[in-house]
Structure 1
């Protein structure tokens, strides 16, 4: 159950300011570690600011969504939701300058396939990625343990999809709403957008699910307020009901504010990242290759060339291997 889960205990935060502080902390830690040689006043000309990191991650979240949508065989919703959780969690405690999001993104999706028991082999998985698929496999498998470590091995995710089904069954049973199935389109649209926000780090899956149902009902010009207050939470005290209503309001507000970052701004940030990223974690850098050679015999190296591969997302080619464009 969510109430006793690691998700509730370790990965559900009080508010957006707490998330912002964590992200800023790890941004500053990276700059302090790697920017000792840079004048303090010039550091944000060389390194990414917290705001730039957030914009970049918002763009890569869109790529994650499109990659999952285009995946073959078709990917269950639970896999997509879990991948978003992993991606967001990872970058609460790591900077994009340390680990490039185009590599972590693919690893998050691959790990979520395993955890959600969506059985695809690494070969089937990288068949969805353009370019050097052997190299793609190597990058993903090399990052898999790192990802699990950074998630503290808290891999079970409670997504809002199951609570949605519970609400729909209850509405069919106890509510006079005609044809509740017509809400599904609005619910799916809402949940797709909610993963582009920090909602899954701030609210319970059941709260997100209820917000989706109420949003879909309002789109159908239906009002479920009496169902919520008189049936669903009839025995809840006024304080608990007020907390729930405020949570639903905030979740819907987050979704309303979803917008794509300006492509030109993201392109500039991406170029900046290529110049300031940690070369020790760059599979195309000599430092990284040397470190791999120290860990493995020369004959065991899978790749050393400069062939690149990319995620086939929404018509925008994003290089997964992190060499500069």
Structure 2
């Protein structure tokens, strides 16, 4: 259930990042923050809907693409105080680990290496290499594939370079191209003697890793429906209600207190504005 909700709210983060027009590295950081949070904590303790906003806010700051809490709050229809309160909770929960190595830079580098390799192959081959438009489509498909892999456990299990290579291979396959020769090139398959044997072993290891990443990507590609998330959220609310009877507050209940405080502040601001207008008249 927790995994389902993390995936659902990770897709919400991607949609929010698309609306805000922020770089892909921001969505990568926000999603990894959310994943790190629920490695150590329960969804009963911290509501994913609230923590999603805190992750996005913190990611914007960590990746130097700042948006104020008020701007994000307007986007989500939540009080800014809720985001600020959960930011501190999030920082403590992820143990202040704000470093995230996203796969997009590695993907760009691999795609450019592929262009150089294609140019070298084209000089000594009878068949023509893919045209520029096809290559760009491969890159776009690879970026989309990397976005999907972010919704899986891949960022927690594999390096950015491995994820990027899997995404590039997947993007090429979607466009009817194979990267077998390029993978051999990456692994140094053109070596001689002992180097060639070592390269063959390296290629086999790389293919094994890419297969594991592809399997995670296939699972992540299946969307989480709103109804599934709603049912899971209802179960969590029932669990929280049962726990609250035993005493103590979860961060969810504290969030409700913040929402109430925010609404009271809004009422006070409206009343103050009316008094000011009356005095002016």
TM over 0.5: yes
Structure 1 gap ranges (5+):
1-51, 293-300, 308-325
Match of 1:253 among 183, 192, 215: 215
1:95-110 aligned at under 5 Å gives the runs 95-110=42-57
Give 1:139's aligned residue: 82
Per-residue CA deviations over 1:69-119 (Å, capped at 9, x if unaligned) read: 222xx1110000111100011001100000000011000010000010002
Q: 1:244 to 1:165 in 2, by over 3 A?
A: same
Structure 2 gap ranges (5+):
120-128, 192-197, 267-281
Q: Aligned equivalents of 1:205 and 1:129: distance in 2? A: 30
Q: 1:152 to 1:282 in 2, by over 3 A?
A: closer
Please report how far the alpha carbon of residue 265 of structure 1 lies from its aligned counterpart in structure 2 after TM superposition.
3.5
Give 1:116's aligned residue: 63
Give 2:262's aligned residue: 303
Give 2:10's aligned residue: 61
Please report how far the alpha carbon of residue 225 of structure 1 lies from its aligned counterpart in structure 2 after TM superposition.
0.7
Contact 1:211/1:251, CA 8 A, preserved across alignment: yes
Q: Give the total of aligned pairs.
A: 238
Please report how far the alpha carbon of residue 183 of structure 1 lies from its aligned counterpart in structure 2 after TM superposition.
1.2
Q: Aligned equivalents of 1:285 and 1:205: distance in 2? A: 36
Q: Aligned equivalents of 1:119 and 1:262: distance in 2? A: 30
Q: 1:157 to 1:282 in 2, by over 3 A?
A: closer
Give 2:29's aligned residue: 82
1:125 corresponds to 2:69: no
Give 1:212's aligned residue: 167
Q: Higher relative contact order by CA 8 Å / sep ≥ 6: 1 or 2?
A: 1
Please report how far the alpha carbon of residue 200 of structure 1 lies from its aligned counterpart in structure 2 after TM superposition.
0.6
Q: Aligned equivalents of 1:167 and 1:85: distance in 2? A: 22
Indicate the structure (1 or 2) with the bigger Cα radius of gyration. 2
Q: Aligned equivalents of 2:98 and 2:164: distance in 1? A: 21
Q: Aligned equivalents of 2:10 and 2:44: distance in 1? A: 16
Please report how far the alpha carbon of residue 167 of structure 1 lies from its aligned counterpart in structure 2 after TM superposition.
0.8
Please report how far the alpha carbon of residue 262 of structure 1 lies from its aligned counterpart in structure 2 after TM superposition.
4.5
Q: Aligned equivalents of 1:153 and 1:284: distance in 2? A: 23
Give 1:233's aligned residue: 187
User: What's the RMSD between the two structures over aligned residues?
Assistant: 2.5
Contact 1:139/1:283, CA 8 A, preserved across alignment: no
Contact 2:46/2:252, CA 8 A, preserved across alignment: no
What is the TM-score when the length of structure 2 is the normalising length?
0.77
Q: Aligned equivalents of 2:254 and 2:187: distance in 1? A: 57
Give 1:244's aligned residue: 206
Please report how far the alpha carbon of residue 283 of structure 1 lies from its aligned counterpart in structure 2 after TM superposition.
5.5
Please report how far the alpha carbon of residue 173 of structure 1 lies from its aligned counterpart in structure 2 after TM superposition.
1.6
